[in-house]
């Protein structure tokens, strides 16, 4: 079995934060450095994203996000599987910022690039 690069919670947080912050023109190069060309993301509720769509979404988020703050509540990695729970404050153009809970599970390849991702995001209803 190949050895997988261990990821720290800080590295994971940096990956997530870079989706929403940064230069929209750098979306492709940033995606190339963090996800595989075979990337597939499933969102609870049926949305599916491949590599090209991920580049579009990252550029869109970066161009339209006015507020992004994230806190990792839970993080674990076992071999090539990563799981995390984040509480985020997200504000997109024309909308007030709101608190969101993001559940994230993924598989990474031997190079540490995200390959298969499952996400569920919902408005935060906690304390």
Report pLDDT for 45.
Answer: 83
Percent of the chain with pLDDT over 90: 87
* pTM tops 0.75: yes
pLDDT at position 22 is: 94
Average pLDDT, the chain: 93
**33-52 tens-digit pLDDT:** 999 999 999 998 888 999 99
CB 59 within 8 A of CB 24: yes
**Mean pLDDT calculated for residue range 83-99:** 96
pLDDT at residue 61 in the model: 97
The residue extents of the domains of the chain are 9-123
Tokens encoding 26: 């750098």
The whole-number average pLDDT for the span 97-117 is 95
**CATH of 9-123 given 2.60.120.260, 3.40.50.150, 3.10.450.50, 3.40.50.360:** 3.10.450.50
| Pairing label, strands 35-43, 114-123 | parallel
Using alpha carbons, list the distances in angstroms from residue 122 to 13, 101, 119.
Answer: 18, 5, 10
C-alpha torsion angle, residues 52, 53, 56, 58 (rounded to 10):
-100
Q: What is the pLDDT of residues 19-28, one digit of tens each?
A: 999 999 999 9
DSSP β-ladder status, 98-108 and 81-92: antiparallel
């Amino acid at each position: 079995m190949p050895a997988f690069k261990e990821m720290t919670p800080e590295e994971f947080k940096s990956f997530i934060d870079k989706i929403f912050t940064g230069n929209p023109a750098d979306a492709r190069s940033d995606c190339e450095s963090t996800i595989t060309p075979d990337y597939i993301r499933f969102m609870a509720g049926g949305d599916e994203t491949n590599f090209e769509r991920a580049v579009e979404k990252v550029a869109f988020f970066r161009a339209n996000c006015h507020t992004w703050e994230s806190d990792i509540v839970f993080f674990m990695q076992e071999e090539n599987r990563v799981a995390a729970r984040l509480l985020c404050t997200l504000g997109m153009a024309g909308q007030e910022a709101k608190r969101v809970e993001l559940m994230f599970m993924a598989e990474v390849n031997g190079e540490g690039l995200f390959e298969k991702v499952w996400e569920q995001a919902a408005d935060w209803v906690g304390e």
